[in-house]
Structure 1
Amino acid sequence: MEIACTRSPQQLLMARQAYHARYKKSLEEDVAHHTTGDFRKLLVPLMSSYCYDGNEVNMTLAKAEAKILHEKISEKVYSHKDLIRILATRSKAQVNATLNHYKNEFGNDINKDLKTDSKDEFLAILRATIKCLTCPEKYFEKFFV
C-alpha cells in the first residue's frame, strides 16, 4: 500500500516492471495471491492502476465522489467498489479535492469518519491509504520522529 500510494505512476510502473523482471510474474498477481477479502479488493487496484499525474481537478466530480464516499462510509460498506475505485484510480490532486469537499460538506475529515472501530484492520489500512495518498510525509513522520 505504501509503495502504491507514495510513488508517481511512472515510479510504480517501473517497480512493477522490475518485479516482473526479477520474479517472472506480476506484482499484481502476487498481491492478489497473498491477500484475501477486502484487503485484496483494495490492494490489487492500488497496484494496478496508472493514474493521471497532473494537477488539474474536476470539482463537479470531486463533489459527486465526496457524496459517494460519505454514503458508503455512513452505510459502513467500507470495501464498496465505488469507494475503492475513487481511491485507486483518481489522481492525487483529484483525491485531495474530493476529500477537501468531503470535509467541507460533511463536517469531518474522512479519516475521522473511518475511526468507528479502531481494532478493524481493514479500516486501519484504508485510513493509511488515504493518509499516504494525501500527505505521505505525515504518514511516515509517525515512524521516524
Structure 2
Amino acid sequence: MANIMISGASTGSFTMTDEIRDIGNSKYLKVAMSDKPYYARLSTEKPSDNNMYVVFENNRYYVQQNPILFEPIHYEHDRGNFEQRFNVWLPKGEYLVKVNTTTDTFTIPSGANVVIFITTTIGNGVLLAITRDGQDLFRKNKKVGKNEVLFELSRQGD
C-alpha cells in the first residue's frame, strides 16, 4: 500500500489502497503515482489524530488513517431447512467467524470476491462455507439445537 505524508501545521501519514473495493461505498480521494491509481478513504468523521480534509460539494471530508472499510455481516434464520448465498468482497486481512456460539478465524492474504454459503437441514445441522473461485477459504459443519441459526463475520485487521 502507498502512503500520503503531510507536514506543516499538521503532520500525519495516511495509508492508501490500490483496490477501490477495499473502501466500501465510502467517498475517496484518488491519487495517481507512476500512472497507478491509489485511494484514500474519506469520512465526515474527524479523526482525533489528523486535520487533513478535502472539500467536496460544500462538505468537509477527512482522510482516514486506514483506507479499508468492512462492515460486519450478521445473519439470522429460524431453525429449519434453508439455504442462503452471499456474494461479497472481502479485503485482505484476518476475519472472525461466529456460527451460533462457536468462533473461528481465517486470513485472506489479498482481497477477493467470495461466496458465503450457509445451509441448514433438520437433523444434519448447519454448514457454512466461504469460497473463492470454488476453493474453500473457510468451512464449518456444526450441529445446532432447536433455536435459530446465527452467523457473523467481522474483519479483525491486517
Return the TM-score normalized by structure 2: 0.22
Higher strand proportion, which one?
A: 2
Q: TM-score, normalised by structure 1?
A: 0.23
Greater percentage in helix:
1
